[in-house]
Each structure stands twice: as structure tokens, then as C-alpha cells.
Structure 1
């Protein structure tokens, strides 16, 4: 069972979210939710002092404390909480990106978009993709989605996974084909990054979750930033 909180100061919007959730539950038969609805930020913040939720559906414009600040408070107490924003404005995309929101839904919320956001949290794929390789005589098998980036070091390629790295004798083309996921992006011929693991992007640099910085290829900022948003949300 998933514990879920809806927070929206407009009762009609909160009711619409609850209705979408009920349709989602019925469409995914084996899922169950324990849902609480809040109409003020204070009520929600008071509740989370005693109860932890798995999923939060938050309006951005609630009252004196906006949804972004509420999300920061939630994440401070529970880093594993999943935040889905519901809003009539796209002004807070960057803020939502920085706190690793699951999705950013613009009102009126389409059922397809809502289901997609919930699937990212609730549906666990049975057949996770793994990448198997050999480093220093040892065979390693890591989830493809956990790979941050790959860098070329002469005839070897350094694969960075979390706080670990491995050296593999291979070509970048071979690794790209073996990973076979659209969220990997080639920065020239020497670097391959996981767009889902980008922490920040500016017109000059891409910062990965481990702090590693890559230069943005000339003329590619818009393309790369749009792809980052696509695979983050």
C-alpha cells in the first residue's frame, strides 16, 4: 500500500486529483492507496510531523508557503518521498528539477500525463536492464539507469556508477549500442552522459550528480536542456 497526500487550496482541484487517482487505481488493479487530502500548507506540514507519506501531489500556489518550499521541507525529513507537482504555471520548472520531482503536471491535468507520473513511482518493471562488463579480471553487472556517465581514456572507457568507477577496454560506440537507452547522450566522441543523472545545466556546463562537470557543446544548449527536462520529468 502507498501512503499518498494531496495538498491543494482549491477544493475542486483537490477533488479532481483524487478522482484521477481513483481512475488510476482501478486501471492498475493490484495497487492500493491510503490517501489524505489537505487544503492548507500548515495542515500538511503538521501532519508529516507524525506521518510519512510515500507520494505527495502538491499544488505550487497553495497559500503563504508555496509547493516548492513544502517539497523542500518534505525532502529534508524524507529523502525517499516522491513529489508530483500540479500547477497552472510552468514558472517553477527549474525549482522542481533541482529537488528531483517525479513530474510537473500543468492544469488542467490530462489523465495520460497523470498516469505516466504515477507509473514512475508505483510500477516497478519486472525486467530491469543491466549492463555486464569486465574490469581487472572481474565481471560486474550494474543497472543501466545507475550509470552516471562514460568517459574515454585512450583505448579504455571509464564507467562511473555512483561513487564507483570501472575501466573497460571497449569503444564508445560499442558501449552506446550495448546500453541501448535513449536517455544516454553523447557529448562529442569522448563522453556519454545519463540525462537522468544531470544535477544542473547552464549554457556553459552540465553538472552531474557526483559534481563532475562537462562542457555544453557549442550550439547544443537548447537541445540538451530540453532532453534533460524530458527525462527528468
Structure 2
């Protein structure tokens, strides 16, 4: 079961979240998820010390602590938790991006936007893996952990966010097919990048989460930057 925690100091907003969640579950009976509501950061943090949650819906402005503060605390020990921010403005988009938020919902919450956010929660809960075989055996790699794939003659170097790398004998076409995610982009015939793992992009190059830089092919900036923006909050 996917466990969701929502924290907002406005009971009206929490009731709205409950109604939207119940409506989503009614329309998607296959969804195995539950939600707990908290109207203070103190209650929220107390509950989090006792049990694990998979996803969080956090108001930006709560009480003594902000939703940004809570998200920073969550990220210290859980990099994969799904975080969704609630707010009345667009002022905190940069913070949401920095904390790898899955969605940014503006109040009053649009039911379609909430359904989209729930879809992202479920997608994260059903994490996909990519199996590779190297000299040490067979490994199951979480697809979302892969930063990029570099071609080295007949071998391909699959580099992950934890610093791990796997050297496999496979074609780039087969790897792209095996990854099966639209956020993987064939930047050249020797390089696949994960668009979700780009830190910065300029007209000349992209910088990945591990600091590695790759030159952009001539004329590709517009297409790559558009895709980068598309996947920034997914």
C-alpha cells in the first residue's frame, strides 16, 4: 500500500484534499493507497517518526515550519519520497525544483491537477527496474537512478546517481528500448541522458546531477531544453 501524508493548517483545505482523494480512489479502485491528514507540523513530524510514508502533500505556509522546511527534512533521509507542494502563488517554484517535487498545486486545488498528482504518486510507487549483466553478475537497477549511458566501442557504461557504474555489452538501441521511458533522450549515437537528471542546461552543454558535462549537438538546444522543462516536475 502507498501511504500518503498531507499537512496543512487549514482544515478546509484538508477536508478538500480528503474529498479529492476519496473521489480519485472511487474512480480508480485498483489504487492501493491511504492518506493521513495533519493540521500542524508538530503532529506531522511526530507521526513521521513512528511510521513511513511514501508521499507527502505539503502546504508551503503552515505554522512554525514551512512546507519547504518539512521537505528539506524529508529529503535528508528519503530521496525517493514523492513530494507535492500546495500554495497560493508561484513564488516557490525554484524551491520545488531544488527539492525534486513531483507536483506544485495551486489553491484552490483543481480536481484534474490533483488527479495528475495522484498519478505521479502511483507511478513512483510502481518503480521500474532495468536488468543488466556485467562481469559481476546480474543487477536490477531502478530506472530513475540512471543518469546517463555512454558508448565505449562495443560496451556501454551505465552511470547511476549513487556513483555506481555498469559496463555492459549491448547496443544503444536495445538499451533505449529496455529503459522504456520517454525521459531518456538519445543525445548522440554514443550518449543517452536522463532528462530528469539534468541540473543545468545552456546553449552549449548540459550538466548532469553528478557534475558531468556533455556538449549539445549543433541546433539541438531548443528541443532538449523544451523536453528538460517538460520533465522537470515529473
| TM-score bin, normalised by smaller chain | 0.7 to 0.9
For residues 124-179 of structure 1, the C-alpha deviation after alignment (integer angstroms, 9 at most, x for no partner) is: 559x57466x6569777756554321213245432334502214353x45544554
Q: Distance in 1 between matches of 2:60 and 2:221?
A: 27
Paired residues in the alignment total: 228
The equivalent of 1:147 in structure 2 is 146
Q: CA offset at residue 92 of structure 1?
A: 2.4
Gaps of 5+ in 1: none
Q: Does structure 2 retain, via aligned residues, the 8 Å contact 1:56–1:81? A: yes
The whole-number CA distance in structure 2 between the counterparts of 1:137 and 1:9 is: 51
* Aligned equivalent of 1:33: 34
Q: 1:62-211 maps to which residues of 2 (within 5 A)? A: 62-63=62-63, 65-122=65-122, 128=128, 130=130, 135=134, 144-161=143-160, 163-168=164-169, 170=171, 172-173=172-173, 175-176=175-176, 179-198=179-198, 200-203=199-202, 205-211=205-211
1: CA distance, partners of 2:130 / 2:4: 31
Change (3 A) 1:207 1:53: same
Q: Distance in 2 between matches of 1:28 and 1:178?
A: 28
Give the TM-score, by structure 1 length: 0.75
Q: Provide structure 2 residue ranges, at least 5 long, that are not aligned to the other structure.
A: none
Q: Is the 1:131–1:144 contact (alpha carbons within 8 Å) kept by the matching residues of 2?
A: no
Q: Do 2:200 and 2:206's aligned partners in 1 also have CA atoms closer than 8 Å?
A: yes
Q: Residues 224 and 14 of structure 1: is their aligned pair in 2 closer, same or farther, counting only changes over 3 Å?
A: farther
| Aligned position for 2:12 | 12
Q: Could you state the TM-score of these two structures normalised by the residue count of structure 2?
A: 0.75
**Equivalent-residue separation in structure 2 for 1:205 and 1:120 (angstroms):** 29
Cα pair distance change 1:148/1:79, threshold 3 Å: closer
Contact 2:4 2:33 in 1 (8 A): no
Q: Which stretch shows the higher mean deviation, 200-209 or 137-146?
A: 137-146
**CA distance in structure 2 between the aligned counterparts of 1:225 and 1:68, rounded to whole angstroms:** 26
- Distance in 1 between residues matched to 2:107 and 2:220, nearest whole Å: 30
Change over 3 Å in CA distance of 1:93–1:225 after alignment to 2: farther
Deviations 1:189-231 (A, max 9, x none): 4321012333x11426533344433235566556434423433
Cα distance in 2, alignment partners of residues 70 and 22 from structure 1:
25
